Amino acid sequence: MSVLETYEKHDPGQPVARVIGGVCIMAVVLFAALGPLMVPGDPFAQSLMKALAGPEAAAPLGYDHLGRSVYHRLAQALRLSPLIALASVATAGTAGLLLGTLAAARGGWIDRLLTMLADALLALPGLLLVLIVLAMVPGTALGFWAGLSLVLWVEFFRLTRAATRETLASPAVQASRLLGFGPAYLFRVHVWPEIAPMMLTAAAFGTATAIMAIAALGFVHVGMPAPTPELGLMMVELLPYWREAPLALLSPVIATFALLLGLTLLAGSRRT
């Protein structure tokens, strides 16, 4: 019986959390992918005659203050933010995995230098680093990707370094080295199976963190420029009109909550 199976045996709520998390994420993904196909429309089209109007067949979630379909803008926003977050996590995870393995395997000045760099970045607030990058590349997906990758790689690096050092010191790895197996074999057979669950958990949490950061910066008008459909920007644009169009405001809020809840439940259910 695996460690995960043993854990789930003593904590039966974990499979339930995983199912709920998967359903939340799948619902968001299906809406973002299939929503515009079921109800065709333009997320940028404006009609001031329909400003803050309620739901109708062409706009099932109503219209915003500029007469744009909230349904189609939300579907577009749920493609943009997760894609930036996933790209950032993929870049940060790859960098953290490679550098963490290098630091653990080589040790010496390489380990000290990389650890010092990670600690220096960790000492700075994450949003501040993203803001610094956005100041150089303002209002672009590239800026968010670079800034979030710079913030997120530290966590992957620290996890990989700690787990790899412990694994490389194990008797099984020492025996494999005596038998003449190279670094690629040691990583594939011994290191990766040990760190994979932690990396997947960190990736889920990192994706949630990146989505929250993008939405938070959009909420304070530092993120993607208007009229780009983005979750935080949609919330801040619709907040003054919450009495006139509560459904329009609640739509990005509920979608963001469902996405973050799903990622958090999936990440928490993978802890061993």
63 φ, ψ (degrees, to nearest 5): -125, 155
248 near 70, Cβ under 8 Å? yes
Nearest to 64 by CA among 118, 148, 170, 55: 55
Task: Please give the helix or strand (H or E) that residue 210 lies within, else none.
Answer: helix 192-219
For position 89, what pLDDT does the model report? 94
For residue 6, the model assigns a pLDDT of 44
The predicted structure's pLDDT at residue 143? 86
Residue pair 216/85 in contact (Cβ under 8 Å)? The answer is no
Domains of the chain: 3-39+65-269 (1.10.3720.10)
Cβ neighbours of 146 (radius 10 Å): 19
The confidence score (pLDDT) of residue 38 equals: 92
| pTM of the predicted protein model | 0.84
pLDDT at res. 217: 84
- Which residues in the chain show pLDDT less than 70? 1-13, 139, 269-272
Contact 130, 217 (CB under 8 A): yes
